Structure 1
Amino acid sequence: MTTRWLTPEEQRAWRAYLAASTLLEDALDRQLQQEAGMPHLYYAVLAVLSDAPDRRMRMTDLAEHAKITRSRLTYVVTRLEKDGAIRRENCQWDKRGSIAALTDEGLALLERLAPGHVEAVRKAVFDHLTPEQVGQFEEICSAIAAAIEGEGAQENAPDDLPWRRRSCSSGQ
């Protein structure tokens, strides 16, 4: 099979994406570390739970929404549980699974952090885009995510999406 090298335009776009995504994640991590002593991923997990019905979600579903491995989610939830932001509950319909529930304290923390986080996102991303570019940005990011998730869902394709990896413990 012949390698399909990136064109000069694709190479520039790829390098721009790498720089932007790395710098963006760093900026969001720094803002949340300064404000709450937590990385961006922890905030994202709290935000996903805040949108879930009854602020509860099965751990495997939460890992999929957060786009992380189940073992990484277990680590995040354990830390947030120690801080009182999340509570783990047994899953009544599946004894092997567990539920992550956002506590009132976790919701209050999220509500306290949200204005600063939104300002950091706006400052890093949306203040630099036109309304047309915002739509293009959504379309591009959605297309990339759908393509990667679609590859993992195809029959006979490696099931290598983070939340489906088998290298984690099964009790989630």
Structure 2
Amino acid sequence: MTEAPRWLTPVEEQAWRGMLRMHDLLVNQAGRTLQSGFGLSATDYSVLAELTRTPDDRLRILEIAKVLGWEKSRVSHHLARMTKRGLIAREECADDGRGSVVVVTPAGRAAMEAAAPRHVEDVRRLFLDHLTLGQITLLAEITDTVLREIDAGQ
């Protein structure tokens, strides 16, 4: 016998739908600034942010896919567009001849350095400035918990 679905309560639905809408609005509004001011899409910025968080500005393609939660084909297509624009370059992996590594180019580094201060300003203006320190701390705990559980299930 099939178990009945566990429908969302009104509060659960409000939380879920609100989180989705908030995410979409934040990404769209911050993305518009990145595009109009710096010629970067929100996706470009996400890739460059992950690459520049590493000590040597490089990651394997599968690592980028994992950290961004994208399918390998989506990553490959997007990286090809960024390569054509000179933001990144691909190199053979020194450890493994089958894989490749993505590296930030000087143009990609310059684009990131130009865009990051405005992006942080937007994150504060659109998101953080509307919350108390307690709410930010609680949200950080919530996101860590959910992400950890999702990662454990994969």
Q: Same fold (TM over 0.5)?
A: yes
Q: 2:40 aligns with which of 38, 41, 50?
A: 38
Q: Mind listing any 5+ residue stretches in structure 1 that lack a counterpart?
A: 153-172
1:129-168 aligned at under 5 Å gives the runs: 129-152=131-154
1:30-109 aligned at under 5 Å gives the runs: 30-109=32-111
Whole-angstrom CA distance in 1 between matches of 2:134 and 2:65? 32
* Contact 2:90/2:101, CA 8 A, preserved across alignment: yes
Whole-angstrom CA distance in 2 between matches of 1:151 and 1:36? 37
* Contact 2:38/2:114, CA 8 A, preserved across alignment: no
CA deviations 1:50-91 (Å, max 9, x no partner) are: 111311111111211222111111122111111111110011
Q: Which residue of 2 aligns with 1:115?
A: 117
* Contact 2:59/2:102, CA 8 A, preserved across alignment: yes
Note the C-alpha offset of 1:99: 0.3
Whole-angstrom CA distance in 1 between matches of 2:18 and 2:67? 26
Whole-angstrom CA distance in 1 between matches of 2:54 and 2:144? 21
Between the two structures, name the one with larger relative contact order (CA 8 Å, sep ≥ 6): 1
Question: Share of identical aligned residues, percent?
Answer: 38
CA deviations 1:106-152 (Å, max 9, x no partner) are: 11110000111111111111010101111011111111211222221
Secondary structure in 2 aligned to 1:68?
coil
Q: 2:5 aligns with which of 3, 6, 9?
A: 3
Whole-angstrom CA distance in 1 between matches of 2:74 and 2:38? 20
Q: Mind listing any 5+ residue stretches in structure 2 that lack a counterpart?
A: none
Whole-angstrom CA distance in 1 between matches of 2:40 and 2:77? 13
Q: What amino acid sits opposite 1:40 in the alignment? A: A
Q: Which residue of 2 aligns with 1:127?
A: 129
Note the C-alpha offset of 1:94: 1.6
* Contact 2:60/2:101, CA 8 A, preserved across alignment: yes
TM-score (ref. length: structure 1): 0.83
Whole-angstrom CA distance in 1 between matches of 2:74 and 2:143? 23
1:11-26 aligned at under 5 Å gives the runs: 11-26=13-28
Note the C-alpha offset of 1:43: 0.4
Note the C-alpha offset of 1:40: 0.7
Whole-angstrom CA distance in 2 between matches of 1:77 and 1:94? 20
TM-score (ref. length: structure 2): 0.93
